[in-house]
Chain A
Amino acid sequence: MHPTLQKLLASGPVVTDGAWGTQLQALGLAGGDCPDEWNLTHPDQVAAVARAYVEAGSQVILTNTFRSNAVALAGYGLAGRVVELNRAGAAISSRAAAGKALVFASVGPSGKMLMTGEVTGDTLRSAFEEQAQALAEGGADGLAVETMSDLAEAIIAVAAAKATGLPVVATMVFDSGKNKDRTMMGNTPEQAAEALAAAGADVIGANCGSGIAGYLPVCRRLRQASDKPVWIKANAGLPEIVDGKLVYQNTPQDFAALAPALIEAGASFIGGCCGTDPDFVRALKRKVSGCA
């Protein structure tokens, strides 16, 4: 196991962080704007989000670089700023972590499908390599390839991340199929675990999706399908309309109540995705510390 991970996991399950997009919105990010751009235009606000998670108890925080690959950034006219955005994102999280937490930089999907031919493997390879390199230069302790729906793309991203020598986490979204246990492209947890481990992932897992309860069986299957530690970062359910506003109904307590079950199902890293915030991390930390 990568020494960074060995050290991290030595004292039991690790609490990661929560959602970044909604936190930035609360600080003024307009819906539809590229959050990653704030690494350059509003670095203090991005640092505030990072610090909030560190203070809430996250042992690993991510970075505001989810869309910072050349393909996704092209949609915002920012493809020319890949290196700057990633370096800045990693640096901001590192400074905020200040030795109290590790920084695993976020690498999200390109948004284009290999299968329709709207993007080629070579384009993705070069985009993820450029991003991974810049994140490593910015000071990331690890790389988190996340929210992947297409195994073929995930494999390319993992290989690119692995080339940096940093530990690599690879997580996919399992929200399709009769049992909501497959990716959009039909990949099972077993197929994902095998392929991602073979591509070099040090940690495998699931994130986003439709809530923490649904990920218990997925977690179990990922754990059984490889010898890699499992990382789960679930949503706080699905949003609903309450008084004309969009609200995620899961409370931090509801969410954290399932942490022991998730750990029993084999999760070594637990955090939240859409709809979560520092309160969720606080609740998780309390539960997880209780379990250790």
Chain B
Amino acid sequence: MPELTKLYDAVLNGDAKTALAVTKEAIDAGVDPLELVTKHMVPAMDEVGRRFECEEYFVPELLLAARAMKGALGIIRPLLAAQGAQPVGRVVIGTVKGDLHDIGKNLVASMLEGAGFEVIDLGADVTPEKFVNAAKEKSAHIVALSALLTVTMPMMKNTIAALNEAGIRGQVKVMVGGAPVTEHWAKEIGADGYSENAGSAVTLARSLMKS
């Protein structure tokens, strides 16, 4: 039986090779794949997120950890699907129309995946209509909006209005983020939550799933 703390450490330290090796060993030894995810990998990513929020980890550490997690998830996902396991939640994410910045959005998407969410990443420069259609088609629980420019932030308002007009505003939670975005702005436009970075985005998404 492989030492599963090695899996936690491998993800935390961004060691993709070890993460994959330990995962393979564990599956072969008959360990429940869901347990690997929920008891070892997600807690590791939670710690990564916490360190990122506490500003001890920076983008490189986050990316390496996410990569390690994704590698391991690559083997686990088909097994989970076969089991009929459901993701923690479904999130449609994108950078709003007119804005091409996607680094922050990509980091949030990575962290949400690491936390067990199914993430539908629409990319950048996404119209309100595209957000609405994706939310409908994928039965999303959460719509996550990113913007880096003050001039494109107002597009978040338009996107929320579009969700309203499409009659699905009540079925999804909207979370927003991006360098110039603030808690105040999020409230002003009627979003359900604001998070300052990729780590706290996971905390927020989890709490939005509960509310």
Whether B27 sits at the interface, judged by CB under 8 Å, is no
Complex contact B103–A31 (CB within 8 A): no
Complex contact B188–A240 (CB within 8 A): no
B:78-124 near A, CB below 8 Å: 97-103, 106, 124
Complex contact B98–A186 (CB within 8 A): no
Complex contact A185–B188 (CB within 8 A): no
Contact residues in A for B184 (Cβ distance below 8 Å): 240-241
Whether A12 sits at the interface, judged by CB under 8 Å, is no
Contact residues in A for B56 (Cβ distance below 8 Å): 178
CB distance from A268 to the nearest CB of B (A): 27
User: Could you tell me the distance between the alpha carbons of A178 and B55 in the complex, rounded to whole angstroms?
Assistant: 5
User: Could you tell me the distance between the alpha carbons of A240 and B124 in the complex, rounded to whole angstroms?
Assistant: 24
B:40-87 near A, CB below 8 Å: 54-56, 58-61, 63
CB distance from A115 to the nearest CB of B (A): 6
Contact residues in A for B103 (Cβ distance below 8 Å): 111, 113, 184
Which residue among B125, B150, B185, B188 has the maximum number of chain A CB atoms within 10 Å of its CB?
A: B150
User: Could you tell me the distance between the alpha carbons of A153 and B55 in the complex, rounded to whole angstroms?
Assistant: 22
Interface size class of B (residues with CB under 8 A): 20 to 34
Whether B153 sits at the interface, judged by CB under 8 Å, is yes
Complex contact A176–B151 (CB within 8 A): no
Complex contact A116–B63 (CB within 8 A): yes
A:227-268 near B, CB below 8 Å: 238-241, 244, 246
Contact residues in A for B190 (Cβ distance below 8 Å): none
Complex contact B60–A25 (CB within 8 A): no
Contact residues in B for A274 (Cβ distance below 8 Å): 150
Contact residues in B for A175 (Cβ distance below 8 Å): 179
Complex contact A186–B99 (CB within 8 A): no
Specify which of B97, B100, B124, B185 is in contact with A241 (CB 8 Å cutoff). Answer: B185
Q: A25-B151, A239-B180, A246-B153 given as contacts; is B58 within 8 A of A176 (CB)?
A: yes
Contact residues in A for B59 (Cβ distance below 8 Å): 115, 184-186
Whether A165 sits at the interface, judged by CB under 8 Å, is no
CB distance from B97 to the nearest CB of A (A): 7
User: Could you tell me the distance between the alpha carbons of A251 and B124 in the complex, rounded to whole angstroms?
Assistant: 33
Whether B164 sits at the interface, judged by CB under 8 Å, is no
Complex contact A238–B180 (CB within 8 A): yes
Complex contact A31–B180 (CB within 8 A): no
Whether B133 sits at the interface, judged by CB under 8 Å, is no
Q: Top 6 A-B pairs ranked by shortest CB distance? A: A32-B98, A186-B58, A31-B151, A75-B100, A178-B55, A177-B55
Q: Which residues does A use to contact B, with CB under 8 Å?
A: 21, 25, 31-33, 72, 75-76, 111, 113, 115-116, 175-178, 182, 184-186, 238-241, 244, 246, 274
